[in-house]
Amino acid sequence: MMGKLLYEGYSSGKYDFAVREKFAQANIYAKNSQSILSKATGFINVYDFTLNPYRGCQYGCSYCYAAAFSPNSKMRDDWGKWVIVKANAAELLEKELVKWYQSNSRSPSIYMSSVTDPYQPIEAQEKLTRQLLEIMIIYKPKLVIQTRSPMITRDIDLLQRIKHLRINMSILTGSERVRKDFEPMSPSIKARLHAVKKIKQQIDPWKGYVPKISVTVTPLLPTFPEEQADFINSLAVADRVVIQEFHAQNQGRSLIASTRQEALTLTKKYAWWYDNEQQSYHQFKQQLHELLTGVEIKEGKEGFTYE
Ligand code: SF4
């Protein structure tokens, strides 16, 4: 639905997007990108590249640092209400992987995605991530998929054809009430756990490659005490569990990733957890070690490695 030539409200002179359609609560734009693989830096610098099929994210999580990288301040304030589809992502990926192999004999490692969710709602229609997986099957990179969406199960037929694959499913709390406060537009905890089980159950190791699966509890959000043990036990479905403390990073510095005000306000509602956050974190971590004896438990950056 190519309606308007310029997007009302978000034009800043430098960034003018054509509104293509409305999907769920978000305005959707499409744009060709210059490149699709970006050099991985910071927290995930052990990878060669990050790959973000979309810019913006419909899940609009309250704590999302990626909002800081929005094209302009209005879009940053409206994080979750817009998505830019990188229309030529598959074509670019193929070109860039061909180029990689012209000067490298090893496979590249790719982290998908660092500032968007590759399985956010619009993916159901666009199938951009699915197209990228088809390219990955041919060019065989070492791939990590970071998502909080059960939609990933749609692609089990392709996932099982990728030899070096780790799936990181984000689940930040064991309490639905907390999930709805901090990330009201995201899938339920139950649906995410079910997706992990489904991937494990449906891939026959004789016919396909079973991916490594992590649950990333990063950053750890409050879990009500009466729900904590059940939540931790439910994480036994993963091979690895990664935890990380909630940090209020770089507040007030607009060009640097930071925790959004929305999440900081919520920490007041959950004062029973945040007033002594370190203790809450350590108590959670201790119970994790007590209850999940057969699962690899890692903290922070080291939990995000492929191996
Ligand atoms: S799913 Fe990830 S990228 Fe999307 S809003 Fe939430 S934290 Fe940000």
pLDDT digits 0-9 by tens, 198-223: 999 999 999 999 999 999 999 999 99
pLDDT digits 0-9 by tens, 106-151: 999 999 999 999 999 999 999 999 999 999 999 999 999 999 999 9
pLDDT digits 0-9 by tens, 177-189: 999 999 999 999 9
DSSP H or E run through 86: strand 82-86
pLDDT digits 0-9 by tens, 145-155: 999 999 999 99
Residue 67 alpha carbon to ligand 1 centre in Å: 9
Please tell me the distance from the alpha carbon of residue 123 to that of residue 92, in angstroms, as a whole number. Answer: 18
Please tell me the distance from the alpha carbon of residue 171 to that of residue 271, in angstroms, as a whole number. Answer: 21
- In the chain, % helix, strand, coil (3-state, to 5) comes to 40, 20, 45
Task: Look at residues 150, 157, 135, 126 and name the one whose alpha carbon lies nearest to residue 37.
Answer: 135
Residue 55 alpha carbon to ligand 1 centre in Å: 11
The two beta strands, 109-112 and 142-147, are parallel
- Which atom of ligand 1 is the closest one to the Cα of 183? 6
Whole-model pTM above 0.85? yes
Residue 116 alpha carbon to ligand 1 centre in Å: 6
pLDDT at residue 5, rounded to an integer: 39
pLDDT digits 0-9 by tens, 228-248: 999 999 999 999 999 998 865
pLDDT at residue 261, rounded to an integer: 82
Atom 3 of ligand 1: nearest residue by CA position: 116
- Which two structure tokens, joined as six digits, stand for 118? 């590759």
Please tell me the distance from the alpha carbon of residue 7 to that of residue 78, in angstroms, as a whole number. Answer: 14
- Which atom of ligand 1 is the closest one to the Cα of 147? 1
Q: Using an 8 Å Cβ cutoff, are 210 and 216 in contact?
A: no
φ and ψ at 188, to 5 degrees?
A: -65, 160
Ligand 1 pocket (Cβ < 6 Å) reads 57, 59-61, 64, 66, 116-117, 148
Confidence band (pLDDT; 50, 70, 90) for 18? Answer: low
pLDDT for residue 79 is more than 60 = yes
| 3 CB burial (10 A radius; 0-12, 13-18, 19+) | exposed
Q: To test the ligand 1 pocket, which listed residue (82, 116, 168, 173) has its Cβ within 8 A of the most ligand atoms?
A: 116
**Omega into 150 within 30° of 0, i.e. cis?**
no
Residue 5 alpha carbon to ligand 1 centre in Å: 28
What domains are defined for the chain?
Answer: 19-304 (3.80.30.30)
pLDDT at residue 6, rounded to an integer: 47
157 against 21, higher pLDDT: 157
